[in-house]
Chain A
């Protein structure tokens, strides 16, 4: 079930009414059943996997507390089981096929490749969320005193289960346990977040997606400039798709008086890669920082090892996105440039580039790196980079990027609109005048609703991160 599907418009009101009609003590059970139904609609069999992995992590956490002598063992069991499930679904075909390629090339034989497995929706998200709990219990941050049902709901709370934000135990669990009242619902945040989220997803991301898919499916028909423009469009698509999902999830959670963590803080307005990663997909970034980077030793190691740790985190985060060399290249590119920024800062501590220059640098790099993220294969990626960096930047196009100039203008205007909103949030232009703000805000969101109906793509397109 997708947030932008017709069935969700029935599901959400039913869950909302059911939740608030029931007495407090039954609400979380109801929410758990609803969340499982939400997941059941993707693939009934994978629901068993979700229940199984989260129940197993719960048991491991209990064992960590109950058998302190063997707590390391239970931590490893939990990590291996989670990584094992991830690897089995996401990486088995990739590893097997890479091996077959090597054998075929070396021996001249022709062993057949394995087909990719269907990845359970949100697998990467709920395993990370579940894993963070056992690691924190091991580190002594929490005591696993909750019931199994509470923990299962913590992992599978439907607004954020499939594509984040990944919410930490100490953020979500107290809210799930707290007594909440209907009159406490923050309707304004619910409306503004969901409307803005749907606008980003259905109007901007889905409309851009159509053009971008055409280019990346047949890159040989486009010249370097067109490929670069398609890459820039993909930057906006990814941001709108992912942050759109987070906004909708955060907005929907407000209906149950739950505040999910802030996941996006206008990353496209960053002026360095360092700043970008402080603003972009915050819940994932902080997860990798707290559980991988710290686990590798963080900065309490030698200088060179510290740099290696940073690079490894980026490389693994690339691999986390999917089993393809293109994701690894994307992660490696970010790792290398991040390290260059660190080294530059070390050698020129007082240097600070003007914001505009930094912004142009960040967007250019982000565009080029996201082309690696989007390319269908490493061969395609190589071809695209060759076209972009060759001297024939404007030559060799067989197809035009936009069949319709009107569509091109419409998308451009909508993207400008998006950036204006982001600039306003960053520098609070309108908010400085309460009179202007109070009058403009309702009109703005009403206009967004109308724009969603007029220009939105209602084909219930899946969200990009569902594949991860």
Chain B
């Protein structure tokens, strides 16, 4: 009986970790979209002149393509959904783990995001990128569960959400998501329907 129970437990554990590996792999290899933005920011070496920080308001309004064409700079929009200055600082530190320091940093603040105690919004989106040790450490200071999420598949799966799984499947199958084309160097072009869904 006990042997059977242990066997089942091992099998479930293995399955959950294997599936999570495949799931994360899909997100990490996304060509264009939210996860491609996170991959660029947290797992790749970059040399951007300007980095924009802030919440989704900055992500949808600081147009990197337009900015680059007007200034001749090489910019990247590292604004994250619902990010307060505290989360933005954590993201910046994580960015600097692999990338060179930018010449300029632009931080967007507004009445909504000047809240230093707030949580990390859509924290499940960052799970695959916690292999960036600075991101893991910094985010863990804000939300201590992040380490558990990273190491424990039993804990992270329930927070993953079907939308995340859908994105991973799209990536594995080479299918573009509805809004993937709207991303350019971290900037995401807003449309009214998106505003309803994502802001």
Q: Which residue of B lies closest to A459 (CB)?
A: B158
Other-chain residue from B1, B16, B197 in contact with A450 (beta carbon distance below 8 A): B16
On whether A454 and B160 interact (CB within 8 A), knowing A404-B166, A446-B11, A449-B12, the answer reads yes
Q: Which residues 153-176 in B have Cβ within 8 Å of A in the complex?
A: 153-154, 157-160, 162-163, 165-166, 169
Verify if B151 is at the interface (C-beta below 8 Å from A): no
Cα separation A410 to B163 with both chains bound (whole Å)? 11
Please give the distance in Å from B115's CB to the nearest CB on chain A. 23
On whether A455 and B19 interact (CB within 8 A), knowing A446-B8, A446-B11, A446-B12, the answer reads no
B residues near A406, Cβ cutoff 8 Å? 162-163, 166, 169
Q: Which residue of B lies closest to A453 (CB)?
A: B157
A residues near B160, Cβ cutoff 8 Å? 454
| Cβ–Cβ contact A404 & B16, under 8 A | no
Q: Which residue of B lies closest to A450 (CB)?
A: B15
A-B contact count (CB 8 A): 39
Other-chain residue from B8, B15, B166 in contact with A442 (beta carbon distance below 8 A): B8
Max count, chain A CB within 10 A of own CB: residue among B1, B11, B158: B158
Q: Which residue of B lies closest to A445 (CB)?
A: B8
| Cβ–Cβ contact B19 & A454, under 8 A | yes
B residues near A449, Cβ cutoff 8 Å? 12
Verify if A458 is at the interface (C-beta below 8 Å from B): yes
Cα separation A404 to B170 with both chains bound (whole Å)? 13
A residues near B197, Cβ cutoff 8 Å? 403
On whether A455 and B162 interact (CB within 8 A), knowing A442-B8, A446-B8, the answer reads yes
| Cβ–Cβ contact B15 & A446, under 8 A | yes
| Cβ–Cβ contact A453 & B16, under 8 A | yes
| Cβ–Cβ contact B8 & A458, under 8 A | no
Please give the distance in Å from A440's CB to the nearest CB on chain B. 15
Cα separation A446 to B169 with both chains bound (whole Å)? 22
Q: Which residues 7-50 in B have Cβ within 8 Å of A in the complex?
A: 8, 11-12, 15-16, 19
User: What's the dominant secondary structure at chain B's contact region?
Assistant: helix
| Cβ–Cβ contact A454 & B12, under 8 A | no
| Cβ–Cβ contact A410 & B162, under 8 A | yes
Verify if A456 is at the interface (C-beta below 8 Å from B): yes
Cα separation A446 to B7 with both chains bound (whole Å)? 11
Please give the distance in Å from A456's CB to the nearest CB on chain B. 6
Q: Which residues 166-196 in A have Cβ within 8 Å of B in the complex?
A: 187
Cα separation A207 to B197 with both chains bound (whole Å)? 19
Verify if A438 is at the interface (C-beta below 8 Å from B): no
Q: Which residues 297-336 in A have Cβ within 8 Å of B in the complex?
A: none
Per-residue contact bits, chain A 93-126, to B (CB 8 Å; 1 contact, 0 not) = 0000000000000000000000000000000000
Cα separation A187 to B197 with both chains bound (whole Å)? 46
Cα separation A454 to B153 with both chains bound (whole Å)? 10
Verify if A407 is at the interface (C-beta below 8 Å from B): yes
Please give the distance in Å from B57's CB to the nearest CB on chain A. 22
Per-residue contact bits, chain A 273-295, to B (CB 8 Å; 1 contact, 0 not) = 00000000000000000000000
In this complex, how many residues of chain A approach chain B with their Cβ under 8 Å: the count is: 16
Q: Which residue of A lies closest to B161 (CB)?
A: A455
Cα separation A454 to B159 with both chains bound (whole Å)? 8
Q: Which residues 417-468 in A have Cβ within 8 Å of B in the complex?
A: 442, 446, 449-450, 453-456, 458
Q: Which residue of A lies closest to B196 (CB)?
A: A403
Please give the distance in Å from A288's CB to the nearest CB on chain B. 38
On whether A458 and B16 interact (CB within 8 A), knowing A404-B166, A406-B163, the answer reads no
Cα separation A454 to B197 with both chains bound (whole Å)? 23
B residues near A458, Cβ cutoff 8 Å? 158-159
Other-chain residue from A187, A403, A407 in contact with B1 (beta carbon distance below 8 A): A187
On whether A404 and B157 interact (CB within 8 A), knowing A187-B1, A446-B11, A450-B16, the answer reads no
Cα separation A453 to B162 with both chains bound (whole Å)? 11
Q: Which residue of A lies closest to B157 (CB)?
A: A453
| Cβ–Cβ contact B12 & A450, under 8 A | yes
| Cβ–Cβ contact B163 & A453, under 8 A | no
On whether A454 and B165 interact (CB within 8 A), knowing A187-B1, A446-B8, the answer reads yes
B residues near A404, Cβ cutoff 8 Å? 162-163, 166
Please give the distance in Å from A12's CB to the nearest CB on chain B. 15
A residues near B1, Cβ cutoff 8 Å? 187
| Cβ–Cβ contact A453 & B8, under 8 A | no
Q: Which residue of A lies closest to B159 (CB)?
A: A458
Cα separation A456 to B162 with both chains bound (whole Å)? 9
Cα separation A345 to B159 with both chains bound (whole Å)? 52
A residues near B12, Cβ cutoff 8 Å? 446, 449-450
Max count, chain B CB within 10 A of own CB: residue among A403, A406, A410: A406
Q: Which residue of A lies closest to B193 (CB)?
A: A403
| Cβ–Cβ contact B158 & A407, under 8 A | no
Please give the distance in Å from B51's CB to the nearest CB on chain A. 31
Please give the distance in Å from B193's CB to the nearest CB on chain A. 10
| Cβ–Cβ contact A456 & B158, under 8 A | yes
Cα separation A404 to B158 with both chains bound (whole Å)? 19
Other-chain residue from A207, A403, A407, A454 in contact with B157 (beta carbon distance below 8 A): A454
List the 6 closest pairs (A to B, CB-CB), nearest first: A406-B166, A458-B158, A453-B157, A450-B15, A449-B12, A454-B157
Residue numbers of A with Cβ under 8 A of B are: 187, 207, 403-404, 406-407, 410, 442, 446, 449-450, 453-456, 458
Q: A406-B162, A455-B165 are in contact. List 7 more A-B contacts (CB 8 A).
A: A407-B162, A410-B162, A442-B8, A449-B12, A450-B19, A453-B153, A454-B19
Q: What are 8 sample pairs from A and B whose C-beta atoms fall under 8 A apart?
A: A403-B197, A406-B169, A407-B163, A407-B166, A446-B11, A453-B16, A456-B158, A458-B159
